[in-house]
A and B are shown apart, each in its own frame.
Chain A
Amino acid sequence: MISQDIAEAVLREAKRKGSTEADLALVENELVTVQVRLGEVETIRSAREVGLGLRLFFGKRSATSSTSDLSKESLARLVEDTSVLAKVTAHDEFSGLPSVGECARSFPELHLYDSDGEALPVKERIARAKEAEAAALAYDPRITNSEGADFASNLYRIIYGSSHGFLGEYRGSTFSLAVTPIALFNGAMQRDYWYSYARKLSKLESAEAIGRRAAERTIRRLGGRKIHTQEVPVVFDPETAASLMRILCSAVSGPSLYRGASFLIDRLGDRIAPEIVSVYDDGTIPGYLGSKPFDGEGLPTRRNAVLENGVLRSYLLDTYSARKLKLAPTGNAARGVGDVPTVGPTNFFLQAGQYDPAEIIRSVDSGLYVTELIGPGVNLVTGDYSRGAVGFWIEKGELAYPVEEITVAGNLKEMLLGIEMVGNDLTFRNSVVAPTLKIRRMTVAGH
């Protein structure tokens, strides 16, 4: 079990070893995953895991460490080992904790934890997974197989403390239900999936709805064709548009910027997208998946306008990258136990526009509607973008037939500027989300 006492004891030990500043994160997860397949339970995985991530500063030198062993002896050794390591790193004038004044002084109640859902019996989890899969299997006779359905939950607790005297704690919960059916037609198989993910059990989509949606998405992929290479308008559905947001998020993250590893360096204040595009990062929205009361360095989370009416207004920064870039931190320090402290989004989203998704598709005479992207294919330094795609060919404003084994390519700088229509279908079903987006022109490669 983690506790504030452990946090305080480790910080005291760090001071005793001569560290000038120190901070740490203690994390406890209670995980349960239930997998069913073809109506039978396949796997149940359960565990409680704990971890501590420590960062020590000796003047302007620092090192980090982590352990899953919270015994007294192990923690004393960890402080010792980290001290040794910190002394060999370089003097870095930008390193150090945020100032005391920047840290959160009160913690808003963000409704991140579901005390009603916490005790959901395993039997009930199995039943929900079975129901979702059954709904998918019953949807169409061409759904012949399944990769199964998963019900997963995590009840977590996070404590963050620093030698400045900051000590904060919060709890959170997540629940998810996902189904992956398989359809067979004319000797070719297709799979697709649907899922629901929420902080509260009561906010999950119904098992039946998830199963039906998964089946519908799978069936519509049957009979996919390859198309000829051409330049056309491309419509990204909300799931694939969210993947563009994840890339944007990396491109505006402090570490990518000060390393010169982003196509958006030195662009603050510039127009990088049309006026219809506004992107926010907001960690303060109660009950949302990316919300938290304070970031990985104890700074209050807040609402950052990343793009406002197409103009790049803010990067996402932790204390270190903010100092490097001569800007102020934005409350986006991310702290995992085993990872080096870095920058991450909270709720990162492209604001909904005015168009119904059907209207967006209707606006395309000949083009591509993308529903899945695979492969790495993104060069953050240059913005070059080339990924495998699955989706539908749009003919005269209608989805005409499924397409596969094609790629979509362009450059992210031009893709952002080329956003022509923004859908009204934004839903916060994950922490990084977007509505349907239409990009004026991209290269689609096939035959």
Chain B
Amino acid sequence: MTTQLVKPERFFLEKFGLTERHLERGLGAALGAQIDYADLYFEYRISEALSLEEGMIKRASKNISQGAGVRALAGEKTGYAFSDEISVQNLELAGSRAKAVAERAGAGISPPVKVGGSPRHDLYPVRVQPIEIPVEKKIDLLQRIDAIARKEDPRIVQVMGSFASEYKIVLVATSAGVMIGDIQPLSRLNITCIAQEGDNRQMGTCGGGGRAEFEFFLEDGRFERYAKEAARLAIVNLSAADAPAGTTDVVLGPGWPGVLLHEAIGHGLEGDFNRKKTSAFTDRIGQRVASELVTVVDDGTIPSRRGSLNMDDEGTPTGRTVLIDRGILQGYLQDRLNARLMGMKPTGNGRRESYAYQPMPRMTNTFMLAGDSTPEEIIASVKRGLYAVTFGGGQVDITSGKFVFSASEAYLIENGKITRPVKGATLIGHGPEVLTRVSMVGDDLKLDEGIGTCGKDGQLVPVGVGLPTIKIEGLTVGGTEGLNKAESFLQ
């Protein structure tokens, strides 16, 4: 398959023997007198995963999924039906089922569908899809990683590596007469090491990826770095003491700790929660929610990033949305439905896990812009605190605004210096308020390595985050270190 020549609309029309007229019939079935909007979403996805443990390639898998979803919108109502058999009968059946939700009567009007729209962006022009790279090359990569990680330290007793790649073709046809498609490559390399010293066992994980060619992993020594980093993390944690418990100043390192923004700010600014007024950020546009050092954007247009897309899953071009400008709340992330109901414009954030789900507002790459301080100045400014550099993940209660994120590599800062490693701990805060206590922002903005997956209402989508080194005054750290010691942390 020479994928670079595939045009999404031709792919679906030829593979399933459909014509523009068939699409019109599907949309026509979904449309009725009271229907505001209808769309068809086609998806074909091939994925492949290889995994190594105990020095062997133990698992190899290949998955193929294909299907179409039909959606009808009327006011706040959505009808959604999908089928994994793409045929004109199923499109019509799904269309009429979707329509039935929103109204009981009304004749379908066939809208004209035109072929040939293409997204405004071309963010991931790969010559060879990673999934088409011979499997032997990927196996060789995983075996080299195993050797590198084990060579790092004799205490590394287990290395688990996986390489996953997918190739997804999507096509959206709407009752507004738009037909637009995209080809979306995605791959990810993941490495976990376990280190053992006596009875003490610790884990370290590192990885990366994006919408790029296979060579991405070989360039700039990336795979070696991931392997060494996973091993280093496991080894560092062998000597980690209990984390402090209580409220203290926290310095977050650059890159993946941006998961803070994803949880504390991002979800609460998704259009659906704000239309329903169920977000802690409801009706707060124009208000101060962060210190003036803080500007946060969601940008789906950064080339080759895991969270980037040429268009969202409703065919809207992705964009750059300023969420917070110098501390002031600016805007929401929107899909079509919520934008229309709120009288706003779609922002290119309507995403879905697959054809089995209707789209909803989701983040792309969410990050804070760089400031003026150097990371060294920031650490030197902290008398006692926590320096957290690697995180597992996080979660937020959108309504109360309380969020958590869990560190997997952290150190104590004592008198302006990084001293001992401490065990991972959960950090907890209040979304609309935590960024008001950001007192320093570094000049070292970094995006994460390309490993993030976000879950919302049971739908998983790839995302990115980014952060410069920042200092937050007073964040609750959920360690176990005894009260007396922790009290010395209170400032």
Contacts and interface: CB of A to CB of B under 8 A. Distances in A.
A379 B429 contact: no
B57 A88 contact: yes
A90 B403 CA distance: 43
Contact of B476 (A37, A74, A147, A405): A405
Nearest to A74: B64
Contacts of A398: none
B294 to A, nearest CB: 20
Given A89-B58, A388-B395, A445-B246, A381 B426 contact: no
Given A229-B246, A377-B392, A386 B478 contact: yes
B84 interface: yes
Interface string A64-79: 1111110000100010
A261 to B, nearest CB: 6
Interface in B410-457: 423-426, 428-430
Contacts of B81: 45-47
B64 A42 contact: no
A88 B246 CA distance: 51
Interface in A358-396: 374-377, 379, 381-382, 384, 386-388, 390
Contact of A49 (B139, B246, B356): B356
Contacts of A443: 245, 478-481
Given A189-B278, A387-B478, A89 B57 contact: yes
Given A44-B79, A387-B478, A447-B247, A409 B66 contact: no
Contacts of B280: 189
B136 interface: yes
B399 A182 contact: yes
B478 A409 contact: yes
Interface string A408-420: 1111000000000
Given A68-B66, A189-B400, A50 B428 contact: no
Interface in A46-92: 46-51, 62-69, 74, 78, 81-82, 84-86, 88-90, 92
B167 to A, nearest CB: 14
A185 to B, nearest CB: 12
A14 to B, nearest CB: 14
A231 interface: yes
Interface stretch (B170-178, B194-202, B301-309): B194-202
A107 B464 CA distance: 47
Contacts of A48: 83
Contacts of B84: 49-51, 68-69
B101 interface: yes
A261 B358 contact: no
B101 A340 contact: no
Interface in A10-63: 37, 40-51, 62-63
A230 to B, nearest CB: 6
Nearest to B425: A386
A147 B478 CA distance: 30
Contact of B80 (A44, A89, A182, A375): A44
Interface string B465-491: 000000000001111111100110010
A338 B80 CA distance: 23
A85 B482 CA distance: 53
B423 A377 contact: no
B287 interface: no
A444 B245 CA distance: 8
B426 A189 contact: no
Interface in A397-434: 404-411
B62 interface: yes
Contacts of A387: 404, 426, 478
* Interface of chain A, main secondary structure: strand
B220 interface: no
Interface residues of B, number: 84
A374 B404 contact: yes
B476 A406 contact: yes
B400 A188 contact: yes
A244 to B, nearest CB: 16
A386 B243 contact: yes
B480 A190 contact: no
B122 interface: no
A404 B59 contact: no
Q: Which of B79, B196, B278, B356 has the most CB of A within 10 A?
A: B278
B276 interface: yes
B63 interface: yes
Given A375-B394, A405-B430, A64 B65 contact: no
Given A374-B404, A388-B428, A409-B245, A67 B394 contact: no
B129 interface: no
A269 interface: no
B53 interface: yes
Given A67-B64, A259-B158, A381-B194, A231 B246 contact: no
B402 interface: yes
Interface in A226-250: 226, 229-231
B349 interface: no
Interface in B78-113: 78-84, 97, 100-101
Contacts of B79: 43-44
A379 B478 contact: no
Contact of B406 (A85, A226, A376): A376
Contacts of A274: none
A51 B354 CA distance: 15
A88 B60 contact: yes
A191 interface: yes
A165 interface: no
Given A68-B65, A189-B278, A260-B157, A374 B397 contact: yes
A382 to B, nearest CB: 6
B124 interface: no
Q: Which of B59, B392, B429, B430 has the most CB of A within 10 A?
A: B59
B109 to A, nearest CB: 22
A43 B80 contact: yes
Nearest to B58: A92
Contacts of B403: 374, 388
B394 A376 contact: yes
B67 interface: yes
Contact of A92 (B56, B101, B481): B56
A407 B400 contact: no
Nearest to A229: B246
9 contacts: A44-B101, A45-B80, A375-B426, A375-B428, A377-B478, A384-B424, A386-B478, A388-B404, A409-B478
Interface of A: 37, 40-51, 62-69, 74, 78, 81-82, 84-86, 88-90, 92, 95, 145, 147, 182, 188-191, 221, 224, 226, 229-231, 259-261, 338, 340, 374-377, 379, 381-382, 384, 386-388, 390, 404-411, 443-447
Given A92-B56, A388-B403, 5 more contacts: A191-B399, A375-B405, A375-B428, A386-B243, A445-B247
